[in-house]
Structure 1
Amino acid sequence: MTVLAAESPLDAITVRAIAAQAGVGYATFFRHYGDKDELLADVADKLTRDLLDQVRPLLIERDRLAAARSLCDFVIEHLAICKALIAGGSGHTVRAEMLRQSMATVAMVRHRAADNVLDDLVLFHVVSATLNLLAWWLRHMDEVNAEAMAEIIERVVLTPTGALRLKPPASL
């Protein structure tokens, strides 16, 4: 899928092309996946897990700039599939699944349990804002290099959010 994603938009990739690239028969594909979207979900799931495994230790250490750099490095190392999944035609659907999985994973490694709805809202903001910034960057990589993007993510999302004292508004 990664090789095909580097050559064509996801919407243009057929199951026949995927099967041929994998060296399996067309019918064999359907023994493993119901359709292309199931394969795409599997690929997105693995990509998200790998990305979180790389960035998580730095976030735990609270080295936000290093975490943002690691995130951008990961995107560059997996550029074709990241472009296809995060910034591609079905990017919104894939980002929604990556958001769900990222939130679940980050929630599991919190230093403390969520105290209130604001904790979950802040987590939602961090993950969705970061994915949206990455989607933008993947479309503008010729204008913004990885180091600059890492600084943007750190300054716009990670540090301001990390500085919040999560005291809920009176109405929550």
Structure 2
Amino acid sequence: MSTVSDARIVRTREALRKAMIALAEESPLDAITVRAIAARAGVGYATFFRHYPDKDALLADVADRLIREFLQRVAPLLQDKDRAAAARSMCDFVLEHLAIYKALLAGGSGETVRAEMLRQTMITMAATRKRKPDGPLDDLMLFHLVSAILNLLSWWLRNLSAVSAATMAEVIERTVLTPVSLLRKQPPVGL
């Protein structure tokens, strides 16, 4: 019995996530209602609240899944110290999920959603670290890495026609990934 129930929960949550992503392709996040999400997912309005307390919780779940999928793709490249390939992979991933990334990073909610995306990414990355932080520099570098990349991607999503994915990847690699890796090798005095 619980397996059937669990499968139904998984299916309903997946339907709600897909509905949120589909609606984000059509409307600004501020305009998307719980009622619209439930209708698009094919579930009752009350059913939505059995799975998520509000739209923001669903959005956080969508963002968390994107972040985890993103990290699974990019982490091996970063571990191999192939920063250029990692940056290209980041930009390709964003293009593959363009609508939801536009909604999350360059949509009408702007700073609020970007701040939540930063918070969610920091939590996810901290939870998936292979080793514990050595001190405040590790946390500072993680914060800088995540916030700088999110800000660059946000700008890029508003200027897609002006800057190619290859150029954006090079910018990310040269302005964020390489400098952060150099700082990790030679931390500033006092940190």
- What is the TM-score when the length of structure 2 is the normalising length? 0.81
Helix, strand or coil for the counterpart of 1:163? helix
- Map 1:92-103; keep pairs closer than 5 Å: 92-103=111-122
User: Does residue 175 of structure 2 align to residue 131 of structure 1?
Assistant: no
- Map 1:60-79; keep pairs closer than 5 Å: 60-79=79-98
CA contact (8 A) 2:67 2:124 kept: no
CA contact (8 A) 1:41 1:94 kept: no
Q: Which stretch shows the higher mean deviation, 90-99 or 27-36?
A: 90-99
Match of 1:169 in 2: 189
Helix, strand or coil for the counterpart of 2:78? helix
- Whole-Å separation in 2 of the counterparts to 1:67 and 1:94: 24
Q: Give the letter for the 1:18 counterpart.
A: I
Deviations 1:75-107 (A, max 9, x none): 000000011112223343333343334334544
CA contact (8 A) 1:95 1:131 kept: yes
Q: Give the root-mean-square deviation of aligned CA atoms.
A: 1.8
- Map 1:112-127; keep pairs closer than 5 Å: 113-127=132-146
- What is the TM-score when the length of structure 1 is the normalising length? 0.89
- Whole-Å separation in 2 of the counterparts to 1:143 and 1:17: 34
- Whole-Å separation in 2 of the counterparts to 1:32 and 1:127: 29
Equivalent of 1:80, from 73, 85, 99? 99
Deviations 1:11-61 (A, max 9, x none): 001111111110111121111111111111111111111111111110111
CA contact (8 A) 1:133 1:153 kept: yes
Q: Give the letter for the 1:37 counterpart.
A: D
CA contact (8 A) 2:92 2:165 kept: yes
Identity of aligned residues (%): 69
- Whole-Å separation in 2 of the counterparts to 1:34 and 1:73: 32
* CA apart distance, 1:166: 3.7
Helix, strand or coil for the counterpart of 2:43? coil
5+ residue gaps in structure 1?
A: none
CA contact (8 A) 2:28 2:107 kept: yes
Q: In 2 relative to 1, CA 93–48 (structure 1 residues): closer, same or farther, beyond 3 Å?
A: farther
Equivalenced residues, count = 170
